[in-house]
Structure 1
């Protein structure tokens, strides 16, 4: 008994773009949607990444306007070892510092300094408009790097959202096409059975 040779299926690339009797209008629409999704995902993702990087850079520049560096003096000896158990340990310790503004007003606050620094040591601290010590602003290469990383994170997320929206539209088209096939089979199926029975 001769064996039936296995059926080989050849994938035809870009078949939705080629004229053939099996291609439906919905196939062509789906092809355009897929192409548009890829293009929009790349374009919108790129623009979103650039916009996020620019916004981040502007935020760094804006913060730099509202803070300024002052020279302060330690009022007490700094601790020799950082406190354990902190969520973020940069190796420095908190110490009390004192400084005088340009208008002569004196201020005291706590700032991060190197461990073991003796009283009277001069340190540079950053203050806001309310004369409170704030973290040093991100500037230069650090600001550029953080802005670039922000853009690099936002770009693929925006592109993925666009692609996801297109995938939902494509899914609706596929369900609609399957419903059309079911309807056509309900119409043709009985006749197909009659034709097959007539041949026997």
Structure 2
């Protein structure tokens, strides 16, 4: 709004320069592009990301299988770092490492070290995501997470567009300022030739 008021103020001002008008129009055009293009880019990016992520989530759910594994034995915890400055809590601290056995969706038998909930004991069964051959996999992407990622992608794209447009406006203003300074130098040099002379006004 301040940019529009500035443009209106310069319309009939006798002191306005061509660079002032160009700067005001650059600000107005940048504001319009930010208001119109940035949301459109954000929406388009979010829609594309949503479609790709939902498709990926669907494919993951089709390729991954939730099966049951049996705890054979609990594996010892790694040694705890006694230095409080270097010791950090990680996601693995909330899990218990166990040696487990499971049967894949294709009937193949597997065993190996896995992470499960902290209270897991030998003989206990827990859920595990695997591929079609029984290899452990991560949990498939769910629709809510896909939507969240798509929204964040759209916001990021819109913000990046606004930043690029504002950067272009600042570049135009910088070029105009350099031109103004050059014009001032020329005008001052001309005025300086008669500066202090008694007949300067004659």
TM-score normalised by the chain length of structure 2 = 0.71
The answer on whether the counterparts of 2:96 and 2:120 sit within 8 Å (CA) in structure 1 is no
User: Aligned ranges for residues 176-195 of structure 1 at < 5 Å?
Assistant: 176-191=179-194, 194=197
User: What RMSD in Å do the two structures reach over aligned CA positions?
Assistant: 3.4
- Measured against aligned partners, the alpha-carbon deviations of 1:160-187 in whole angstroms (never above 9, x if no partner) come to 2321122012101111122122213323
Q: In the alignment, is residue 171 of structure 1 matched against residue 164 of structure 2? A: no
Q: Among 38, 53, 62, which residue is 2:56 paired with?
A: 62
Question: Which ranges of structure 2 fall in alignment gaps of 5 or more residues?
Answer: 81-87
- Inter-partner Cα distance in structure 2 for 1:166 and 1:145: 32
- Inter-partner Cα distance in structure 2 for 1:150 and 1:95: 38
Question: Which ranges of structure 1 fall in alignment gaps of 5 or more residues?
Answer: 1-11
- Inter-partner Cα distance in structure 2 for 1:68 and 1:117: 23
Task: Give 2:161's aligned residue.
Answer: 158
Q: In the alignment, is residue 33 of structure 1 matched against residue 29 of structure 2? A: no
SS of the equivalent of 2:43 reads helix
- Inter-partner Cα distance in structure 1 for 2:36 and 2:126: 48
- Inter-partner Cα distance in structure 2 for 1:53 and 1:96: 42
Task: Give 1:104's aligned residue.
Answer: 107
SS of the equivalent of 1:75 reads strand
The answer on whether the counterparts of 1:78 and 1:113 sit within 8 Å (CA) in structure 2 is no
Q: Among 142, 149, 158, which residue is 2:145 paired with?
A: 142
- Inter-partner Cα distance in structure 2 for 1:51 and 1:95: 46
Residue 50 of structure 1 and its aligned partner are, at CA, apart by 3.0
The answer on whether the counterparts of 1:82 and 1:91 sit within 8 Å (CA) in structure 2 is no
